[in-house]
Amino acid sequence: MITKEKIAEAYQLIQDEICTGLEISDGSAKFQEELWQRNGGGGGRTRIIQSGSVIEKGGVNFSAVYGKLPENIKKAFGVTEDDFFATGVSIVIHPNHPWVPIIHMNIRYFEMTGESGKDLRWFGGGIDLTPHYVIEDDARFFHSALKQTCDRFQSEFYTKFKNWADDYFFIKHRGETRGIGGIFYDRLNPQTTGLDWDDIFEFSLAVGRTFLSVYPELIRRNRNKSFNDEQKKWQMQRRSRYVEFNLVYDAGTKFGLETNGRIESILMSLPPQANWIYDFKASIGSEEEKTLKLLKKEINWVS
């Protein structure tokens, strides 16, 4: 079995690759890095890119932290283990252009160790897309790429993780999905997947690498489209839904806020600007209305 050090190392390489790829794709902005250390063990590399040609605000964060498991977390997991190790790469990109989608990607590994001798570790992660305007061709391209990645490892992964994403990225109080979903998975281990640890680890890296095969292409397809003030306003309104999801429902954000994580790294997922327009109604037949109709679970984008 691959060691946690190797996992963290591979994740750092993924972070490097993605940062390079995004800088090329954007064409003007560069990442700023902040190294931070965690009281209690470990630390991270927060990398922020801002005010680019296309990327208005984005973060590509790596962290590898370890230490004693807080009592409330032990309770939540129902374990007696004392120590944990967690490493991951987490990305959110907010473009400045209403026709370029917001994207989110996360790959992570978590383990708990203690005297019980139980094998408590797993991989989690996913990629999902939040277009301000849903472009059906792009949605099909995106989901097909995810399916291709999944299919290389397990024939059931795509459908299972696509449904998981539909359920997870759901803004209950609005009755709409955050975007067009993608894949979401957690607690992957040999028991839950039928794969060995090395293959699960490789799957995690493959998900990480899928980011660069989809997002620069989606930027390229849409960055030169013209847009008007109304469309910009719509973008700012869609971003407010992103804020609502992340602050009200997102498990990672909640976990970070409750465990006194590094606030600026946790909340880098929030957009540079968001607007709440009172009681907005999309006009019939508009692009906005079309998008709202596609923010639903259970749309098949790969058939």
- Pattern 180-209, its own copies, x by CB under 8 A: ------------------------------
Residue keyed to tokens 């972070």: 15
- 271 is a site residue for its own copies (CB under 8 A): yes
Q: Interface with its own copies includes 240 (CB under 8 A)?
A: yes
Q: Of the two residues 120 and 267, which places its CB atom closer to its own copies in the complex? A: 267
CA-CA distance, 123 to 133, in Å (whole number)? 32
260 contributes a contact to its own copies by CB under 8 A = yes
* Four-residue CA torsion sign, 52, 57, 60, 64: positive
Min dist. Cβ of residue 36 to its own copies (A): 11
Question: How far apart are the C-alpha atoms of 181 and 195, rounded to whole Å?
Answer: 25
Cβ atoms within 10 Å, residue 66: 17
Residue type, 166: D
Identify which of residues 190 and 276 has a Cβ nearer to its own copies in the complex: 276
Stretch that binds its own copies, among 102-110, 155-163, 183-191, 271-279 (CB under 8 A): 271-279
Of 156, 162, 202, the closest CA to residue 184 belongs to: 162
Confirm or reject binding of residue 267 to its own copies (CB under 8 A): yes
Determine which residue in the list 120, 205, 206, 257 makes contact with its own copies, applying CB under 8 A. Answer: 257
| In contact, 139 and 220? CB cutoff 8 Å | no
Among 70, 144, 244, 292, binds its own copies (CB under 8 A): 244
Site membership for its own copies, residue 236 (CB under 8 A): yes
Pairing of strands 55-68, 83-95: antiparallel
Task: From 173, 97, 163, 101, select the one nearest 132 (Cα to Cα).
Answer: 101
Window contacting its own copies (CB under 8 A); options: 18-26, 103-111, 172-180, 210-218? 172-180
Nearer to its own copies, 75 or 174 (CB): 174
Distance of alpha carbon 251 from alpha carbon 302, whole angstroms = 28
C-alpha span between 303 and 297 (Å, rounded): 15
Catalytic residue among 97, 104, 132, 143: 104
Rounded distance between C-alpha atoms, residue 205 and residue 25, angstroms: 21
Between 5 and 264, name the residue whose CB sits nearer to its own copies.
264
For residues 147 and 161, the answer to whether their CB atoms sit within 8 Å is no
Helix 136-151 to helix 197-222 angle (10° resolution) is 160
- Measured from the CB atom, is 76 or 263 closer to its own copies? 263
Residue with Cβ nearer its own copies (4 or 104) = 104
User: Counting contacts by CB under 8 A, is residue 274 touching its own copies?
Assistant: yes
Distance CA 98, CA 263 (A): 27
Our finding on whether 34 is near its own copies (CB under 8 A) is yes
Q: How far is the CB of 279 from its own copies (least distance, A)?
A: 5
Question: 143 catalytic, yes or no?
Answer: no
Give the catalytic positions in this structure.
Answer: 104
Enumerate binding residues for its own copies (CB under 8 A). 34, 48, 50, 57, 59, 172-174, 236, 240, 243-244, 247-248, 257, 260, 263-264, 266-268, 270-279
